[in-house]
Copies of this chain bind each other. A is one copy, B any other.
Amino acid sequence: MRLLLIGFGNVARTLAEMLSVEKNNFPRLNRLQAIPVGIATAAHGNVYNKNGLDWAELLQYFGAHSGFQGHSSFTKNTTLQLIEYADYDVLVELSALSVSEQGEPAVRHVRTALQRGKQVVTANKGPAAFAFRALRELAGAKGVRFLFESAVMDGAPVFNLARTALRGATITGIRGILNSTVNYILQEIEQGESLDTALEKAKQRGITETDPSYDLHGWDAAVKLCVLGNALLDKELHPGNIRREILDETVAAQARQALLRGMRLKQIAEIIPDGALITGKVFFSAVRPVDRFYSVSGSGSILQIGTDVMAPIIIQQSDPNLYDTAYGVLNDLLELRENRISRHLFYSEKLK
């Protein structure tokens, strides 16, 4: 399986480590056999070699030179040129989300690869938040997959779960704590920090976006809510139409007040279908200890899925790190690999 990676940030480098220097720690990932043929970055140069590159060598070079300039496989081809003309099996889109650019350039990256009949795996929320239907239809028309398990709750199963465990169910509503940065900040405020100091501590832990308003203004949760609504409820949601409450000094005061009453203030993201209408909102609510959202601590997250047939199913993730995000991408790659193999086996069997 030959990969073209877009982005070589923390997630991509963790993924590269898991497949090379750390591979003996993860025996069940060994069968993946995923070889990079190219990596395109926004500002650190691009590399491409159709005969395959080496994860460990790329990591070392990138670390030593802060980029790919001067690498023996350095190419002046742009990201889009590589996506359009390079020889690869799967586009792995790991660029950073831009809400103001409506998910671009990631949406274009994904569309271009799908149009060529390439498989696509992405941890970027943009494509599924801003262009889900068009991309799903394009993938369907080309007979390839568009997978994005890591876009929400990292490698914890959300889209996998819906595809396999809810085959016969209709999802009727979704409620979750989806932004782990805000959850961490609220917990720091409970422990006596000011909003500013709590935000500073989150930055030091490396869990905030470059633009803090992305977390504080609820954009991250709103974008994730759109991915869930589009992919799980088959709706056409747009991040701009999700109502968002902003985490400011007033909310920080509410968090301190809630604590005095034995409760915890949580940022909750919710979709409640209401006939043809659909209401998506990101808001703050105080929850009691008997509420299962109460125990979501630190940078954890939780998602409650309502269906027409079962009592709500809840998925919860405890303090994830970069391995969790990279794993979600790798699990999607394993799905591509195994579906291909099972089909191939069956075909061969029939020919006997």
Contacts and interface: CB of A to CB of B under 8 A. Distances in A.
Interface in A258-280: none
B168 A160 contact: no
Interface in A291-317: 291-292, 294-297, 308-317
A202 B133 CA distance: 47
Interface string A143-184: 000000100001111001101111111100000000000000
A167 B342 CA distance: 14
B168 A32 contact: yes
Contacts of A314: 314-318
A302 B249 CA distance: 36
Interface in A227-283: none
A327 interface: yes
A320 interface: yes
A173 to B, nearest CB: 13
A10 interface: no
The number of times this chain is found in the oligomer is: 2
Interface stretch (A23-31, A42-50, A78-86): A23-31
Interface residues of A, number: 57
B308 A25 contact: yes
A318 B312 contact: yes
Nearest to A162: B157
A310 B155 contact: yes
A159 B27 CA distance: 20
Interface of A: 18, 25-29, 32, 149, 154-157, 160-161, 163-170, 289-292, 294-297, 308-321, 323-324, 327, 330-331, 334-335, 338, 342-343, 346-347, 350
Given A161-B164, A169-B327, A314-B316, 7 more contacts: A27-B170, A155-B309, A160-B161, A168-B334, A311-B318, A311-B321, A347-B350
